[in-house]
Amino acid sequence: MRFRTLLVVAMAAVLGLLLLLPRPDRAEALNCTGLAVPSVAAGEAGPPALTLPQLDVAKRVVATAKGMAVTKRGAVIALQVARQESTFDATVVVGRATGAFQQIAPGPGNAYVGYDRTDPGMAAKGFFTVLSARVPGYDSDPRSNADIGQVVQASGAGAAKYAPWRPLAESLADVLYDGTAAMSCATGQGGPTPIRTNGAEVELPPSAGITGSVRAPTPEAARALAAALSWLGTPYAWGGGTTMGPSRGIRDGGVADAHGDFAKVGFDCSGLMVYAYGQVGVSLPRTSQAQLSGGGTVLPWPAALPGDLLFYGSAVHHVAMFLGVVGGSPYMVEAPQSGDVVRVSAVRTGGDFRSEAVRPIPGERPDQHA
């Protein structure tokens, strides 16, 4: 009896300790009121919205600058470049360009080899190495930060692309480099909801609006499905969404602007797919059209399995992720349109439905619906 009592006490102590341990950062959008608002040319309005992973990348860049005795101006230049090149996304890969600074190995003087370019600290070290070599007097150089950043990057887009991000970069440096300013970040958007998976099985959350579970063809496809489901209720934002989570939308000159998508943090249809499959190491193209042509194996709709991508439009304008058949009906998870939110919907097989699917990860189970 005494042993049983001691065991209960020990288990309670362990549980209490677990509850007190710090939890992993969630990819929440932040409205950071201590940060300067980017210029109108940057296409943003209101306080900048960062995610916790984006803020972590900025912190790693600044920490590397301080460790290498790079001046505050050097850190600001790097932050301007990283914001433009990757929106502080250390995992993004575009062709051979990789990481927060979109470095292409081997780089000037082999500066971009010998390390993982998706590591923001190591990528920053490569950036500062080239900065010091190409502009040794950068701290007092009369040229603009954007011009100096262009010397380092030799970007085809030119220095003008870096210029709008100087206010944001300087504000970040004020906080992170020398602490001369305070930054107050309030959550502007809920983080991802944990979705229960068991191997290839995915349990549907209450926010899905349907009950039960679905079985994906592989555990990886199940995790991609769970990743998409974890952001149910997140606002649609045209141009929003990266492998790190929801991000600020962009202007389209039309419907999205009328709904204020450029001031929202969320996902558009293809951005949600990029995020979901990014969580299992699969890099999808950014647009729905590109995801149809280059996202994986193309299959007829009757052969679709949970996790496959579904498309709409003769000229593709929408993509969703097939959730599976629940209660005899096929469902999908999608970021539908401006003014809406990420949600589970019945598969709309009429109208401009393309009756085909793309499978980013090969599956082995037989088809489960007609």
Pairing state of beta strands 265-266 and 93-94?
Answer: unpaired
Q: How many CA atoms lie within 13 A of 266 on its CB side?
A: 26
Burial of residue 45 (CB within 10 Å: 0-12, 13-18, 19+) is middle
Distance CA 66, CA 124 (A): 11
Pairwise CA distance, residues 86 & 100, whole Å: 5
User: In the annotation, is 269 catalytic?
Assistant: yes
CA neighbor of 302 nearest in space, from 353, 262, 254:
353
The encoded tokens of residue 367 equal 């088809």
Interacting residues of 236 by C-beta distance below 8 A, sequence separation 6+: 261, 264, 266, 267, 268, 335, 336, 337, 338, 339, 340, 341, 342
Q: Which of 28, 85, 220, 269 is catalytic?
A: 269
Q: Rounded CA gap, 306 and 199, in Å?
A: 14
Question: In this structure, are residues 102 and 94 in contact, taking their beta carbons and an 8 Å threshold?
Answer: yes
Set 318, 356, 364, 369: catalytic member: 318
- Which of 85, 170, 220, 334 is flagged as catalytic? 334
79 and 124 Cβ atoms separated by less than 8 Å: no
Q: Is 369 noted as a catalytic residue in this protein?
A: no
Of 200, 265, 196, 199, which is closest to residue 237 (Cα–Cα)?
265
DSSP secondary structure string for all residues of 20-34: HSPPPPP--EEEETT
Nearest alpha-carbon partner for 306 in 197, 209, 231, 158: 197
**Residue 331 to residue 368: CA distance in whole angstroms:** 13
Cα-based distances in Å from 295 to 164, 283, 292, 362: 33, 8, 6, 12
Looking at the annotation, which residues are catalytic? 269, 318, 334
